[in-house]
Each structure stands twice: as structure tokens, then as C-alpha cells.
Amino acid sequence: MWRVTIKYLAARKLRLLLTGIAVTLGVAFMAGTLTLTDTVQRTFDDLFANVNRGTDAVVRSKAALKSSQFGDSRPPVPESLLGQVRAVPGVAAAEGNVNVPYAQLVDSKGKAIGNPGQGAPSFGFVWSNNSKLNPFRLQPGSNPPRSDDQIVIDKKSADKGHLHVGQRTIVLSQQPSKKYTIVGIAKFGTVDSPAGASVVLYTTREAQRAAALPGKFTDISVVAAHGLSQDQVKANLQRALSSDPKIEVITGKQLTKENQDNIKKALGFFRTALLVFAAVSLLVGIFIIYNTFSIIVAQRSREMALLRAVGASRRQVLTSIVGESFAIGLIASAIGLVLGIALSTGLKQLLNVLGFDIPGGSVVVKPATVIISMLIGTIVTLLSAVLPARRAATIPPIAAMREVSFETTGHSARRSLIGALIVGVGAAILAFGLFTSPKNAISYVGFGALLVFIGVFVLGPVIAQPAARILGAPLPRLKGMTGVLARENAIRSPKRTARTAAALMIGVALVGFITIFAASAKKSFAAAITDQIKVDYIITTGRNFGGSGLSPALAERIAKLPAIEAVTPIRIGPASVNGTVTGVATVKPTAAATMFDFNFTRGSIASLTSNGVAVSKSYADKHHLSLGDPLPVKFSSGRTVPLKVEGIYKRTELAGTFLVSLDNYAKNESQQFQLDFQVFAKLKPGVSAAEGSKEITPLLKHYPTAKLQDQAQYKNEQVSSINQVLNLVYALLFLAILIALIGIANTLALSIYERTRELGLLRAVGMTRSQVRSSVRWEAAIIALFGTVLGLAIALSFGFSVFLALKNEGFSKFSAAPGQLLVIVILSAIAGVVAAIFPARRAAKLDILKAIATE
């Protein structure tokens, strides 16, 4: 029996290839993701281990706030602590560190170095004279900074900005920007810069000034005396500093672990996101393989029956099919694994291009990657073949004597019932996840969506016939007999058509959903900006993520311009309210009152004092807050301030849940959150926009990252930033669509093989080759359109459900994106036609004589 399996595999190389590709691509995606993240993780693990090698302990304050969004906030420690630390027995050396959250280098042409729009962040640190504690290594010809106007910069920024030792350059910080002399260029360990960030290294005093932390350190690094372990020196330090409960001590190893874990967390998100898309590709692959094996079993039923007739047992027939799928799964997974590993290097390059620098290092292929990829690929293939194999095993020996049996039509009340039931349960779980916001809501939504897909897949054959008839209705008029044949062929095997279309349905549903979601988000966002902001200028950094913003000095300088009536920045930082760490936003109340309309139901922006907080209406309702109620807020400085509710507002798109006054925020949030996210400005009455710009533009020369926009430009930029995310998701879903198209090609190829005789006859009685090709192409187009229409129907219902669920959270407008959906329909019809190119050519090249020869 095994020999039969192997013979079959060898004889059907093409089929094998097409079936295998469905698995290979999904596995490659998965293996590529795992390899990439493992490689990046290992590289950073090594980097941190290397960088922190000389640090035996770190003394710092305990985290005031821990937030996954903003990171841990630790208040600085006083300079005087350094003396205490140095005096502790077992401490050989100690240095105070100052992290400057924003230190943007400017090149000789006055442009900000790097890509402030989306690149890695820019930091500043103290140049440590203790080589054990200093991860930076000076390059030849460099000196450490000796005075407050001297700096050392990282090699990457130096190369990028064409900066060299001896040159003078501007560095932007939270303080007014200042010119420095570059005295040195340094590498971070062995790499040019830490993860591509740009780094400025100052003297201690200058770093304190730039970070607005005079007389303070971020933390203190310690080198233990010879022969003393990290744990011993940590114990000594803890004992000596125990009087201050806000201080904590960790070992160098713990620091390394912390650094590595941070990377792991960031990578984990990235990894999960990519794996979700890999899973989608594999899911589509399952549908394809299931379909292929179903067709193969139907085509070989006579042969199976013959095997049974000559004495093969049911089990043997089953084993032969399962064996075939096992071999395909194994080979395809192995190829996918190799492909994925190769792909990971490509992805790494892509990340580099995006500005997320990953230091060089060899590719890490963990055994787990190999095992998981091989296992999942093979199991997926096996599972998809089990049902068809069982069907093959039930073929009675007598079938050998009959004509080749065609598949049943797929109409059955039981099928309709089961399909509808699965869709119903899936929709219910989906709705539960969306509307009751349980824990792990995403899992409910995902599982519900999966069930809906499976339900529609089960229902597919029932609706395939009428749907294909409707979709193909214009064909006879357009293409005559060619069109009739295309439509009839698409209808003749509803199960096959439905299964093929279902694979495409998944990809299209996801693309459609994302499109609708993005269109609605854009519409809602645009409406929010139009409704809630009335300003003349908005100054942004064009940065969507990363730790920096605009120097507060800029807003202050703009406020002093004669043309300007009012200016307010927006800043966002972490705060703990009622035990939950969340974001808190700030504006200058008097200025903001003339610019924003957050729809206050109680109080107003203008009346917001430094002792008050305004909260969103939904939060107020949930916590039964009304005007004047106390609401203590713990800020990142560690201070808990007894604020009172001074306003309640409805619109949260820009303001978020909590709004405090700027002086309150400036006093209580840590320095690292004191950068302006955006600055809003309003002109004096009667001043033209041109006059205003004339005054503001020269100022911006000193702030190369700042970008001046009017409200319309701002709206366009904010809305189009959604497109970037959208394009990324499209790119990731492309693979699933590609696999589905391969599925269409595969089904058609198998169908054409089965219709050899019929095609021969058609050719004999006068069908031209181009008519044959056209007929196959239109058949593919109908199948593709069927899958697309199903997918878009699902997309619309998902999209609308999500809209309803998020309606009160800023998702105020729904857009079905009819234009884009129409484009999707047209594109998928074209894609179907493209998928049909190869099968159509095969059909057209068919040898008439061989086809019609009767024995």
C-alpha cells in the first residue's frame, strides 16, 4: 500500500507542488517570525549583558508608577546620595547617571538627524569617566567632554549627520537649544548606537541642566570591590541605605534582566501580531488542502474502489491518503522552515530601513522554532486530509464497476442547519467579546470570528449554486457560449466552488474589515478634529511613536509673538487614578478654552484650576463623580495630589479620560513627560494667516523637528497616518490572499484534468483556444467573486459590530468605504483571472485527439 502512495506522489508532482505551497508559505511566515524575534532578542540579550558587565549594582528610587504604555516612572535621587553610596563598604566606585529624555542632534545643515517622523528616539546621558560603568567606547581621535559645552555623540549619528570631532552643532532639549563642540565619537559596546537611537553624552552638570534635574541623578551605578559578589555589595548597600524607604538597590544582573525583559515585552507584541497573520495564512492553507484532497479523492474513487475490490482494507485506503498528506506536510513544512529562516534576514533588513536598528549578529534558529514549524505544518496538512481520507475509505468496491462518480451537489437541510448554527454561535461569542468587554476580549472576538468563517464554509455549498448563477448572470450576454460554459462549470460542483471560494473569503473578509474599520476611524477622527478644534496653527513633530516631542521653550516663544492671541501645548503622561495607571493630558486652561470644544456637561476648560481635574463623562458616570468630588491623582513624580473634579466632558478623542491644568502637570509629572506632544496656536482677530506664518516660521528654524500646519493640513496628516498602519496590515494579509489564489489555480487545474474529454469535444466542434482560455478565466472570476462577496458580507457585519461596540469610545462615525470595497471586488476578480492563467493555458493546449480518443 505504501508503494501506491509513493507512486502517486511521484506521478503528481505539480499537484504536490501546488498543495504544498499552501502549507509552505504559512510555515515560512511562522518560522520567519520566530527566527527573527529570537535573533533580535539574542542580539539584545548579548548587548545588554555586555554593556552592563562592569556594573555590579544600581541604586535608584522605587518606581512611583508602573505602566505598560509609559514604562516605569522613577523619581530622581539627590546628588548627595552618591557620597553616601561611595562610603558604603565594598563599593569600589560609584557614578551618578542622568537620563536626558530628549536630546535631538542637528546636522551642519540645520536638519534634525535621523528620521524624527518615525525613527528611533534621541537620548542624552552623562559621560562616565569610569570605564567599567561606561558602555560607550571612544573612537580614535576622540576625547571625553571636559566642559559644559563639550559633548560626545554616537557613531551612527556622526556618520548620518556627517559630524566630526571639532565641529560645533546644536542639540535640542527641553531647555532652550544650545550649541556644543563635538569632542568625541563613541560606539555603544560594539555597535554604532543603541538600537539606532541617537545619543548625546554630556558632562554631569550639563546633563542635569538639559534634563531639568539640577542637583539630581536618575540613578547611581556601583562597582564592587575586588572579590565581592554582586549580591554581597547589594546587601551592603541595602543595609546602609535602609533608612530611606523610597530607595531600592538591584544587582547588575538584575538590571540586565530588566533590560532584556523590556525588549522581550516589546518584541512579544510584535511577535504575536506577526504570528496572528501567519495563523491566518495557515488557516487559508487548511481550506486549500482540504479542498485539494477532496477533489483528489473524488477523482480517484474508481481507483480506490478497484483497490478495495482486489483486497485492500478500508484502513489501508485511509492510510494511503493520510500517508500522502503526511508526506506533503512534512516536505512542505521543511521547505517552509528553510524559507522562513531565509525570510527572517530579509525582515531584519526591513526593520533597519524603518529605522529600528538591529545590531548585527548571526541568525538564531532555536530548536523550538524547528519543532513548532514542522509540527504545525505537518499536523495542519494531516488534519485537512483526514475527512477526505475517511470519505475515500467508505467507497465500496462495487464503485469500481460504475462510471466515475461526481460529487454530490451539497444541498441538504442538515448542512444548512449545522452551518447556520455554527455561524450563530460564532456571532454570539463575537458579540459577547465586543459588547460586554470581558477579560481576554480579543480571544472571544478571534474565536467567534473563526467560528463564523467555519460556519460560512459549511454553508458555502448551499449558497454556491444560486450565488454563482447570479454572479455569472451577465456572462452569457457578454461572452456568448463561452460565458454560458464558464457559469455552468462554476455551478456544476458547488462543494468545490464553495471550498475554493472560502479560502479567498477569509483573506477578503479581513482586508475588507480592516478597510471599513480604517475608513470609519478616519471619518470619526476627521469629525473629531473638525468638531473639537478651532485653531489657526498646530505644531507637531510628525512623530507617531517614540519618546520625544517638542521642547516646551517653543510654545513659550510662540506665545510672545505679536500676532498670536493664545497658545497651549498638549502633553500626555502617566498617572494613577483609583489605583489604575492611565494617561493624563494637560492644556493651558485659559488658552484651551478658546480653541477646544470637548463638550463639557459640567464646568468648563477655562475654570480648570491647578487643584482640579476634568474627567470624561463615561468615567464620571461609572465612578459616580460629580462636580466638586475629590479625586486624588498620583503622578509620575510619586506625589499624590488631592484634586477635585472641576469639569465633566463628553468628547474624549483628543482629551482622553483625564485633563489637568498645565501648571499642575508641570509641577507633578516627571521631567521625561514634560515635552510638548503638540502645540496649538490662535491668531489675534484681524491678523491674516500669512502674517502669522511670517512670524512663526523664523522661530521654527531653531527647532528642526517642528512642523507648522494649519487645521486642514493637520487633519489630513492625522487621518493619513492611519493609512500607514492600513498598508502594513494589507501587506501582512497579502500572503493569505496569495495562498487563496493558489488554491483557485489548483482547483481549476484539477477540474480541467477531470474535464479532458469535454474540452476535447468542445475543441473538435469548433471552440477556439482563446475561447477555451476565456471560459476558464471567467469560471475563475466567478469563483473569486463568490469568495469576495462572501468575504465582504462578513467584513461589513464585523465592521458594523465593532463600530457599535466602540461607538461611545470615539468611534463615532461608520463608513462602509464603498469605493474601496468596489476596488476590492474588481481586484479580486482580476486576481481570479490571473490565478486562472496557468490552468487556462493547459486547457487550451489540450491534445484534441487524446482527449476524444475512446480507448
Partner 1 sequence: MTTTLPPTITTAARAIDASKVYGEGEAAVRALDHITVEFEAGKYSAIMGPSGSGKSTLLHCLAGLDRVTSGQVFLGDLEIASMHEKELTKVRRDRIGFVFQAFNLIPTLNALENITLPMSLAGRKPDQQWLDTVIDTVGLRDRLKHRPSELSGGQQQRVAVARALASRPQIIFADEPTGNVDSRAGAEILGFMQRAVRDFGQTIVMVTHDPIAASYSDRVVILADGKIVDEIIEPTTDAVLDKMRALGA
Cα dihedral value 716, 351, 270, 715, nearest 10: -10
Contact 791, 505 (CB under 8 A): yes
- Pick between residue 299 and residue 711 the one whose CB is nearest to partner 1: 299
Q: Which of 303, 488, 710, 717 binds partner 1 (CB under 8 A)?
A: 488
Side chain identity at 818, as an amino acid letter? Answer: P
Cβ 836 to partner 1 shortest distance, Å: 18
Give the CA distances from residue 767 to residues 274, 276, 709, in Å, rounded to whole numbers and listed in that order. 48, 47, 63
- Pick between residue 72 and residue 488 the one whose CB is nearest to partner 1: 488
849: contact with partner 1 by CB under 8 A: yes
757: contact with partner 1 by CB under 8 A: yes
492: contact with partner 1 by CB under 8 A: yes
Cα dihedral value 584, 262, 549, 529, nearest 10: -50
480: contact with partner 1 by CB under 8 A: yes
Residues 332-371 within binding reach of partner 1 (CB under 8 A): none
- Pick between residue 695 and residue 758 the one whose CB is nearest to partner 1: 758
* Alpha carbon distance 568, 559 (integer Å): 8
Closest CA to 88 of 241, 250, 243, 252: 241
Cβ 842 to partner 1 shortest distance, Å: 16
Give the CA distances from residue 762 to residues 482, 823, 833, 852, in Å, rounded to whole numbers and listed in that order. 10, 35, 21, 10
- Pick between residue 92 and residue 851 the one whose CB is nearest to partner 1: 851
Residues 758-797 within binding reach of partner 1 (CB under 8 A): 758, 761-769, 771
Cβ 472 to partner 1 shortest distance, Å: 12
Cβ 331 to partner 1 shortest distance, Å: 36
- Pick between residue 697 and residue 768 the one whose CB is nearest to partner 1: 768
- Pick between residue 147 and residue 768 the one whose CB is nearest to partner 1: 768
* Alpha carbon distance 595, 615 (integer Å): 18
Q: What mask of x and - would describe binding to partner 1 in positions 706 to 745, judged by CB under 8 A?
A: ----------------------------------------
- Pick between residue 428 and residue 853 the one whose CB is nearest to partner 1: 853
- Pick between residue 479 and residue 634 the one whose CB is nearest to partner 1: 479
Q: Count the Cβ atoms, other than its own, within 10 Å of residue 830.
A: 12
Cβ 426 to partner 1 shortest distance, Å: 35
- Pick between residue 580 and residue 854 the one whose CB is nearest to partner 1: 854
- Going by the DSSP 8-state scheme, the letter that residue 105 receives in this structure is E
Cβ 450 to partner 1 shortest distance, Å: 35
* DSSP string of 58-86, one letter each residue: EEEEPPSEEETTTEEE---EETHHHHHHH
Cβ 828 to partner 1 shortest distance, Å: 24
Closest CA to 163 of 114, 202, 106, 121: 106
- Pick between residue 30 and residue 762 the one whose CB is nearest to partner 1: 762
Cβ 749 to partner 1 shortest distance, Å: 19
Contact 511, 824 (CB under 8 A): yes
Q: Give the CA count within 13 Å in the CB-facing half-sphere of 385.
A: 26
* Alpha carbon distance 463, 486 (integer Å): 18
Length of the chain: 855
Q: Which of 482, 500, 548, 568 binds partner 1 (CB under 8 A)?
A: 482
Q: Count the Cβ atoms, other than its own, within 10 Å of residue 684.
A: 14
Judged by DSSP in three states, 530 sits in: helix
For 453, the enclosing helix (H) or strand (E) is helix 441-471
Q: Which of 40, 423, 485, 750 binds partner 1 (CB under 8 A)?
A: 485
Residues 499-558 within binding reach of partner 1 (CB under 8 A): none
193: contact with partner 1 by CB under 8 A: no
Closest CA to 673 of 66, 101, 123: 101
* Alpha carbon distance 760, 854 (integer Å): 12
Cβ 765 to partner 1 shortest distance, Å: 5
286: contact with partner 1 by CB under 8 A: no
Give the CA distances from residue 261 to residues 36, 60, 184, 194, in Å, rounded to whole numbers and listed in that order. 17, 19, 31, 16
- Of 16-24, 207-215, 484-492, 824-832, the segment contacting partner 1 by CB under 8 A is 484-492
Cβ 780 to partner 1 shortest distance, Å: 16
Helices 769-806 & 711-754, crossing angle to 10 degrees? Answer: 140
Cβ 382 to partner 1 shortest distance, Å: 34
Cβ 485 to partner 1 shortest distance, Å: 7
Cβ 767 to partner 1 shortest distance, Å: 5
* Alpha carbon distance 578, 583 (integer Å): 13
481: contact with partner 1 by CB under 8 A: yes
852: contact with partner 1 by CB under 8 A: yes
- Pick between residue 26 and residue 483 the one whose CB is nearest to partner 1: 483
Side chain identity at 470, as an amino acid letter? Answer: I
Residue 618 grid coordinates: 463615561
Cβ 771 to partner 1 shortest distance, Å: 6
405: contact with partner 1 by CB under 8 A: no
- Pick between residue 57 and residue 759 the one whose CB is nearest to partner 1: 759
Within 370-475, strands assigned E span none
Q: Which of 41, 489, 678, 828 binds partner 1 (CB under 8 A)?
A: 489
Closest CA to 370 of 325, 340, 346: 340
For 634, the enclosing helix (H) or strand (E) is strand 630-635
Contact 121, 544 (CB under 8 A): no
Size of the site for partner 1 (CB under 8 A): 25
848: contact with partner 1 by CB under 8 A: yes
Name the site residues for partner 1 (rule: CB under 8 A). Answer: 480-482, 484-485, 488-489, 491-492, 757-758, 761-769, 771, 848-849, 852, 854
